[in-house]
Chains A and B, each alone.
Chain A
Amino acid sequence: MRYAISETPVIKRVLRSRWLQWSLTALTLLFFVLAIIAGLAGTPAGNRNFGIVFVWIVWWALLILLLVPFAGRLWCGVCPIPAPGEWLQRRALVQPRPGGKLYTLSKQWPRAFRNIWLQNAGFLGVALFSSIILTTPMATALVLLGFMIVAIGTSLVFERRTFCRYLCPVGGFIGLYSQVAPLELRVKDTAVCASHTEKTCYTGSDAGYGCPWLVFPGGLTNNTTCGLCTECLKTCTRDNIAIFVRQPGADLLKTTGHKLDEAYKGLIMLACGFIYSTVLIGPWGVLKETARAVGTPGWFAYAGIFLALNLAVFPGLFWLAVRAGSIPNPKYPMSRLFADYAAVLVPLGLTAWVAFSLSFVLINFSYAWSVLSDPLGWGWNLLGTVGLKWTPYIPGLVPYLQVPVLLLGLTAALALALRTARQYGQSPWAATPVAIFCAAATLGLLGLYLA
């Protein structure tokens, strides 16, 4: 059951306009550049610096509380990081080159890395230093600048948006969680694609470029690799591609054929949700100090525990749960079961991050008003809001928002666990150890927030 929202004439016209994506990207790029300038030249006080407040509070809130759950990869469609590289590739800003020609060495990304393992590693790297990156304007600026330089370099050497598809540390989890969104870009009729020999959606045409995400839209079955850039809506000569409103989480209903890199991404995200909830918003000052004291023996211990939790403890516990469920009927390889049962981590992890984000976004959002007037912390008062004091929004209600969010994630996770068991022909009892894992994770997070 789905509805082609892009078939509404006004929406169709807007989506087919080349100005839509460009203008939104130009706007986000403006904010992005301002965040970098603020980080490099502005005040080192994070709560008065545009880079920290707008990246880690405003943008993060927008991304994890609204865009990803409700619009999937919409952010990727207007993300400023790959924009300069893409414009260099195209040697054009808005209108396409004839035939959708790109100016790049067009190297193919090595086959061994055509997965999200590098994105997992990149995310872990950023997460390991998050207590510095999230709170130090200069560190945020350097990380953002680094992302952009790598994106530009990648676009000059490799084909299309290789950076977004295989390298971006943020794109990995956005893609994973975008499966929950009630929005998808798909072809209307696969038979039309099969008979369309030119495949202009992939190769490009005078109307636009071939899919920047290296995806053939006719083969799309989930949201993970579609960047919602709408390029294919412009290049499909058969008008066979649309954006649909659909049942939330529809991608997850197919619970087989998942990959190990995605499973690990789900586990890393869940583990990091726990670690952040403990270190950053827990009452243990010594943990915060240790996580920030890079290079000290304490930090190395922290880094070791951090990596062990992400790469061994959480995956190990999940593996044990899947293994326990499969003992009565061990005919399927554990690697397949492990990857497919990991679909439960999508709603579980997303709601964990929503709950975690609620606990600091609502509390700290009011910093945005003063920073708007004085983005660099130089004493300006551009909009007259610099005097607005820090005001936590509904702090007493945060736990009451976290509980239903986490319970919703748990319910969806358990439904998926049982569905996976059924699709493998297993008894529902096979899903119960995974269900216990999910319930324990939910209780653990609730314990960190409420106990």
Chain B
Amino acid sequence: MIRNTQHAIRNTQWLVGGITIALVLLALLAPLPAALAGGAAPQERHITISARSFAFEPGTVRVNRGDTVIVNLESTDVVHGLYVDGYGVATQAEPGRPGQLTFVADHVGAFRFRCNVACGNLHPFMIGKLEVGPNLTWLRAIAATLITAVGALAVFWKH
């Protein structure tokens, strides 16, 4: 009797665990309707980013999916670069000689942009953030975390 009960509990745990993993994968990977993935009509965005040791100003840049982003990089002290993670595009600037960079923001989410010219001790941490909205990666991660939490509690509640 006890053995049967334990067996049933274990089967239920596997079932709940499997459903949880499936839901987490769904939350993270399921394709979404285009209406959700892109809000406003694409437009051209001219953004000036000022670089100094060891910060970008503004540190966070927000655009919409599909926007054509034209970055004007200005350096106020030494030579700095700007490389955008996930897009693989880069430019460089030195005082008085700005750099320019153009790309279409076709991936949604938050991406780090970083200096790609050694500019001093904190160079590896000279980082900014590009948000291509709506930030579905973050929303998906929230959903996956909540599903994981509820699922894990359900699986291990009685075990």
**Chain B's nearest CB lies how many Å from the CB of A49?**
10
Contact with B along A46-71 (1 / 0, CB 8 A): 11100000000000000000000000
**Chain A's nearest CB lies how many Å from the CB of B16?**
12
| CB nearest neighbor in B for A438 | B149
Contacting residues, chain B, for A390 (C-beta < 8 A): 116, 118
In contact, B141 and A47 (Cβ under 8 angstroms): no
Known: A135-B122, A418-B157, A432-B153. A442 touches B59 (CB 8 A): no
Specify the main secondary structure of chain B where it touches its partner.
mixed
**Chain B's nearest CB lies how many Å from the CB of A28?**
24
**Chain A's nearest CB lies how many Å from the CB of B57?**
7
Stretch at the interface among B2-10, B40-48, B96-104, B107-115: B107-115
Answer whether residue B148 sits at the interface, using C-beta atoms and an 8 A cutoff.
yes
In which size bucket is the chain A interface? 35 or more
Tell me the complex Cα distance, A289–B127, Å. 13
- How many chain B residues touch A (CB < 8 A): the figure is 49
Q: CB within 8 A of B149: which of A283, A284, A414?
A: A414
Answer whether residue B69 sits at the interface, using C-beta atoms and an 8 A cutoff.
no
In contact, A283 and B127 (Cβ under 8 angstroms): yes
Q: Within B43-81, which residues are at the interface with A (CB < 8 Å)?
A: 52, 54-57, 59-60
Tell me the complex Cα distance, A86–B141, Å. 48
Answer whether residue B28 sits at the interface, using C-beta atoms and an 8 A cutoff.
yes
Q: CB within 8 A of B153: which of A282, A399, A414?
A: A414
Specify the main secondary structure of chain A where it touches its partner.
helix
Answer whether residue B86 sits at the interface, using C-beta atoms and an 8 A cutoff.
yes
In contact, B85 and A392 (Cβ under 8 angstroms): yes
Most buried by B among A44, A428, A451: A451
| CB nearest neighbor in B for A406 | B145
In contact, A446 and B149 (Cβ under 8 angstroms): no
Q: CB within 8 A of A446: which of B57, B87, B128, B145?
A: B145
Answer whether residue A199 sits at the interface, using C-beta atoms and an 8 A cutoff.
no
In contact, A285 and B149 (Cβ under 8 angstroms): no
Q: CB within 8 A of A283: which of B59, B122, B141, B144?
A: B59
Tell me the complex Cα distance, A406–B128, Å. 23
In contact, B112 and A281 (Cβ under 8 angstroms): yes
Most buried by B among A44, A280, A285: A285
Contacting residues, chain A, for B60 (C-beta < 8 A): 283
Contacting residues, chain A, for B19 (C-beta < 8 A): none
Known: A47-B118, A407-B144. A399 touches B137 (CB 8 A): yes
In contact, B138 and A451 (Cβ under 8 angstroms): yes
Q: Within A391-408, which residues are at the interface with B (CB < 8 Å)?
A: 392, 395-396, 398-399, 403, 406-407
In contact, A363 and B57 (Cβ under 8 angstroms): no
Q: CB within 8 A of B54: which of A288, A399, A438, A446?
A: A288
Answer whether residue A305 sits at the interface, using C-beta atoms and an 8 A cutoff.
no
Q: Within A424-450, which residues are at the interface with B (CB < 8 Å)?
A: 428, 432, 435, 438-439, 442-443, 446-447, 449-450
Answer whether residue A286 sits at the interface, using C-beta atoms and an 8 A cutoff.
yes
Answer whether residue A292 sits at the interface, using C-beta atoms and an 8 A cutoff.
yes
Known: A414-B156, A419-B156. A396 touches B145 (CB 8 A): no
Tell me the complex Cα distance, A151–B81, Å. 42
**Chain B's nearest CB lies how many Å from the CB of A198?**
43
| CB nearest neighbor in A for B61 | A283
Answer whether residue A256 sits at the interface, using C-beta atoms and an 8 A cutoff.
no
Most buried by A among B54, B86, B124, B137: B124
Known: A399-B109, A451-B110. A415 touches B152 (CB 8 A): yes
Contact with A along B140-159 (1 / 0, CB 8 A): 01101110110011011111
In contact, A284 and B125 (Cβ under 8 angstroms): no
Known: A398-B85, A450-B110, A450-B135. A407 touches B127 (CB 8 A): no
Q: Within A108-135, which residues are at the interface with B (CB < 8 Å)?
A: 131-132, 135
Contacting residues, chain B, for A282 (C-beta < 8 A): 127, 129
Contact with B along A341-384 (1 / 0, CB 8 A): 00000000000000000011001100000000000000000000
Contacting residues, chain A, for B24 (C-beta < 8 A): 407
Tell me the complex Cα distance, A363–B111, Å. 13
Contacting residues, chain B, for A105 (C-beta < 8 A): none
In contact, B148 and A410 (Cβ under 8 angstroms): yes
Answer whether residue A326 sits at the interface, using C-beta atoms and an 8 A cutoff.
no
Answer whether residue A45 sits at the interface, using C-beta atoms and an 8 A cutoff.
yes
Contact with B along A278-305 (1 / 0, CB 8 A): 0011111110110010000000000000
Contacting residues, chain B, for A284 (C-beta < 8 A): 55, 59
Tell me the complex Cα distance, A136–B123, Å. 11
| CB nearest neighbor in B for A397 | B86
Answer whether residue A411 sits at the interface, using C-beta atoms and an 8 A cutoff.
yes
Which A residues are within 8 Å of any B CB, using their own CB? 44-48, 131-132, 135-136, 280-286, 288-289, 292, 359-360, 363-364, 390, 392, 395-396, 398-399, 403, 406-407, 410-411, 414-415, 418-419, 428, 432, 435, 438-439, 442-443, 446-447, 449-451
The 4 closest A-B pairs by CB, nearest first: A285-B55, A396-B86, A283-B59, A395-B85
18 more contacts with CB within 8 A, not counting A415-B156, A435-B153, are: A46-B124, A131-B122, A281-B112, A282-B129, A283-B127, A285-B55, A285-B57, A289-B54, A292-B121, A363-B124, A396-B111, A398-B85, A406-B145, A407-B145, A415-B152, A418-B159, A419-B156, A451-B138
